[in-house]
A = this chain, B = another copy of it.
Amino acid sequence: MARDTARQGTAPRNYPKGQRRRAQIIEAAFTAFGQVGYRNASMVQLAAACGVSRAGLLHHFPTKESLLEAVLEERERQDDEHFFQSGAVTQDGLEYFASMIRLVAHNQANPLIVSLFAVLSSEATAADHPARPYFVTRYERARRQMQSAVDDLARRGLLRPHVQAPGLAADLIAFIDGLQIQWLLSPDAIDMPGHLRTLLRSLVRVELA
């Protein structure tokens, strides 16, 4: 019963049983992929962890790739939920980066989200990895969206002198990603939202909310 309560966030009790089971499998895979990677995670062990047979698992996810896809969708859903909690996508650069600091603070309270992203994104750099196209597209989109926010700051004269707007989105995304590795290895030494706020202070003229 304690398990069900703990899982209520992703699998409310009033869901049909199949839906609940599906959410439970995604949750187990989310954790496993972040801990041992996609390639090394075993469908048999995942089924056992969820208390379903291999056939039961394959009913919901006929291939390991389909489970990977569902996990990536779930991660994106969680990200969007926290990033855009204040409403629609903002065109305002200051609001964008204030939201980004909040998202990084939220992630710092949720190591599983951070592990999953760090492990899968680097694993997916291999030419034959099934998540490679997803991550290529995701980074292109992330750079485009963040660059719009940077360009908004540049237009409003809010970047400090000598800060080059072009390419700055790639830099900041890289910084956030790389900091996750250092934080996962030494959580007591690294405060991710604190580092992001301080770095932004050296690039942007006004204090972010």
Contact = CB atoms under 8 A, between A and B. Distances in A.
Interface of A: 35-37, 39-40, 115, 118-119, 121-126, 132, 135-136, 139-140, 143, 160, 162-164, 167, 170-171, 173-179, 181-182, 184-186, 189-190, 194-195, 198-199, 201-203
B119 A123 contact: yes
Contacts of A185: 124-125, 132, 135-136, 139
Contacts of A195: 167, 170-171, 174
A180 to B, nearest CB: 8
Contact of A37 (B39, B175, B186, B194): B39
Contacts of A139: 181-182, 185-186
B123 A201 contact: no
A102 B101 CA distance: 32
A107 B87 CA distance: 42
Given A39-B37, A170-B195, A198-B164, A125 B135 contact: no
A182 B201 contact: no
Contacts of A160: 160, 162, 202
Given A167-B198, A175-B175, A126 B35 contact: yes
Given A36-B126, A37-B37, 18 more contacts: A35-B126, A36-B39, A118-B122, A118-B125, A121-B181, A122-B123, A124-B185, A125-B184, A139-B186, A143-B182, A160-B162, A160-B202, A171-B179, A174-B175, A174-B177, A174-B181, A174-B182, A175-B178
Closest 8 CB pairs of A and B: A174-B178, A178-B178, A177-B178, A125-B184, A174-B179, A122-B122, A163-B202, A175-B175
Nearest to A192: B174
Nearest to A121: B181
A201 B164 contact: yes
A176 B178 contact: yes
Contacts of A199: 171
